């Protein structure tokens, strides 16, 4: 499990409090929902990959298990790879 801290200045806090009841709840919901969307994408891609692989005889029913076992790159890794491929 990971914990993230976000620091807003006074003007940013005032602005957020103008549009949401709870800045903390909004931030948690935004991150949780984006993570859910990414998990859905990873799960779908992994199930398709496993289904196409004749050597795989079973697929875990638990989405989190599939996501955690997925051999995927982080966005930072993909960006670094893309930057390295750019001509100098």
Residue 46 has pLDDT above 90, yes or no: yes
Average pLDDT over residues 68-76: 96
Q: What CA–CA distance (Å, rounded) separates 28 from 53?
A: 37
Confidence of residue 36 (pLDDT cuts 50, 70, 90): very high
Q: What integer pLDDT is reported at residue 51 of this predicted model?
A: 96
Average pLDDT over residues 78-85: 96
Q: What CA–CA distance (Å, rounded) separates 50 from 14?
A: 48
Which pTM value belongs to this model?
0.84
Q: What integer pLDDT is reported at residue 88 of this predicted model?
A: 82
């Amino acid at each position: 499990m990971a914990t993230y801290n976000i620091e807003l200045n006074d003007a940013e806090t005032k602005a957020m409090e103008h549009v949401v009841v709870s800045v903390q709840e909004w931030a948690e919901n935004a991150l949780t929902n984006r993570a859910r969307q990414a998990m859905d994408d990873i799960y779908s891609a992994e199930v398709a990959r496993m289904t196409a692989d004749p050597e795989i005889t079973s697929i875990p029913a638990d989405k989190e298990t599939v996501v955690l076992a997925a051999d995927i790159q982080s966005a930072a890794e993909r960006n670094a790879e893309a930057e390295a491929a750019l001509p100098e």
